[in-house]
């Protein structure tokens, strides 16, 4: 009898409590995170209005990332740690896996690569052919490198050497260059600078086979180039509006490479952080929504919700694609 009375008493207390708006208001904040059992509605933070706000917020963040560099160049960027030695190692490792001979690092091709980078910074372009029609081969011939075959790969916005080579391998045309049996030698330029307002790293890779086989770079020449690249002073940085970055290009080259320089805000880290926080937040809300709805028998997951969540996912994916570093050409 006591247990029955106690149960009725508790039921009455709950009933009386639900009839007191002021008491209920104290606990309404939970429905920002959990569905409404009485109103058969989703959590406030998963409502259609909230999803629209999330979409607008993500678009605003993307807008800031895209346009802030134009106002304050160099604030945003892509931090990197790319070296000529690592690029050469990963390139030759891929060639070895394909049963091809290793490429020798050639001083003339390295100088040509630096001149190509300098030209892109000066004329503010990202292409194999400059606005005035200068082709990669012009830079190679400018170093008195008489070739039978030649090729060029470009990359920017990567964080490490391995990712650069992997990206080239995933592109058919770049892979053809990297694994071509027609090349014996290679040259690199790795330069930090500002491109379109972003602090980034530009990589130029040039391939060649000299007309005279006796001119193929020796092990000594390759080691000399690597030693100069490793011990030389940091190359000059020329910060031009809406451009890439710079390197020094010399007729008798001192092979310099800009040391890694971190921007005030790394776009890669910022994008991943925002995506992780936002994804975790919405994911937690969805998990709570499913769990609480099943527990309370709340039926409120409509087609509109699916559509809006789909739009939200599309917006986040688009922003990730736009801001994701790593471009090859």
pLDDT at 235: 43
With respect to residue 37, please indicate whether it lies within any of the assigned structural domains.
no
Q: Based on the domain organization, do 223 and 320 belong to the same domain?
A: no
Count the neighbouring beta carbons within 10 Å of the beta carbon of residue 156. 25
pLDDT at 86: 92
**Per-residue pLDDT band at 252 (split at 50, 70, 90):** very low
Return the structure tokens found at 188.
């690199």
Cα–Cα–Cα angle for 162, 190, 87, nearest 5°? 30
Domain-ending residue, one of 232, 261, 290:
261
> Residue 233 above 80 pLDDT?
no
**Residue 90 CB partners (closer than 8 Å, separation 6+):** 161, 162, 164, 165
Tens-digit pLDDT profile for residues 260-273: 455 556 666 666 67
Mean pLDDT of 20-36: 60
With respect to residue 30, please indicate whether it lies within any of the assigned structural domains.
no
More confident: 165 or 58: 165
Q: Based on the domain organization, do 250 and 306 belong to the same domain?
A: no
How many domains in the chain? 2
**Per-residue pLDDT band at 172 (split at 50, 70, 90):** very high
pLDDT at 315: 61
**Per-residue pLDDT band at 138 (split at 50, 70, 90):** very high
**Residue 65 CB partners (closer than 8 Å, separation 6+):** 76, 267, 270, 271, 323
- The CATH number given to whatever domain includes residue 112 is 3.40.33.10
With respect to residue 245, please indicate whether it lies within any of the assigned structural domains.
yes
Domain-ending residue, one of 261, 282, 312:
261
With respect to residue 29, please indicate whether it lies within any of the assigned structural domains.
no
Question: How far apart (Å, rounded) are the C-alpha atoms in residues 75 and 145?
Answer: 39
Quote the domain boundaries for residue 69.
43-73+272-329
With respect to residue 32, please indicate whether it lies within any of the assigned structural domains.
no
Torsion, CA 45, CA 51, CA 56, CA 60, rounded to 10:
60
**Per-residue pLDDT band at 251 (split at 50, 70, 90):** very low
3-17, 199-213, 220-234, 280-294: range with lowest mean pLDDT:
3-17
pLDDT at 74: 53
Query: pTM value?
Result: 0.60
pLDDT at 119: 87
């Amino acid at each position: 009898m006591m247990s029955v009375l106690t149960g009725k008493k508790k039921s009455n207390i709950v009933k009386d409590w639900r009839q007191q708006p002021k008491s209920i208001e104290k606990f309404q904040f939970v429905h920002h995170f959990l569905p409404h059992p009485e109103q058969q509605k989703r959590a406030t933070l998963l409502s259609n209005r909230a999803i629209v706000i999330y979409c607008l917020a993500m678009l605003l963040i993307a807008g800031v990332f895209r346009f802030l560099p134009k106002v304050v160049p160099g604030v945003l960027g892509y931090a990197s740690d790319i070296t000529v030695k690592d690029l050469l190692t990963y390139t030759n490792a891929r060639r070895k896996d394909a049963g091809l001979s290793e490429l020798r690092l050639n001083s003339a091709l390295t100088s040509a690569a630096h001149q190509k980078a300098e030209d892109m910074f000066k004329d503010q372009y990202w292409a194999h052919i400059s606005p005035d029609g200068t082709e990669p081969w012009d830079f190679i011939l400018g170093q008195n490198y008489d070739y039978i075959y030649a090729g060029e790969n470009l990359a920017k916005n990567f964080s490490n050497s391995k990712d650069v080579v992997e990206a080239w391998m995933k592109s058919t045309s770049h892979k053809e260059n990297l694994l071509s049996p027609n090349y014996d030698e290679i040259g690199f330029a790795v330069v930090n600078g500002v491109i379109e307002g972003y602090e980034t790293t530009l990589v130029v890779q040039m391939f060649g086979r000299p007309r005279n086989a006796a001119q193929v770079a020796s092990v000594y020449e390759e080691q000399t180039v690597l030693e100069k690249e490793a011990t030389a002073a940091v190359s000059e940085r020329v910060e031009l509006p809406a451009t890439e970055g710079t390197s020094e290009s010399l007729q008798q080259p001192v092979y310099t490479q800009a040391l890694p320089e971190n921007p005030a805000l790394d776009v890669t880290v910022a994008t991943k952080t925002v995506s992780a926080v936002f994804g975790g937040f919405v994911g937690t809300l969805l998990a709570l929504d499913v769990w609480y709805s099943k527990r309370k028998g709340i039926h409120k997951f409509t087609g509109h919700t699916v559509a809006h969540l789909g739009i939200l996912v599309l917006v986040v994916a688009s922003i990730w694609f736009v801001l994701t570093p790593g471009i090859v050409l």
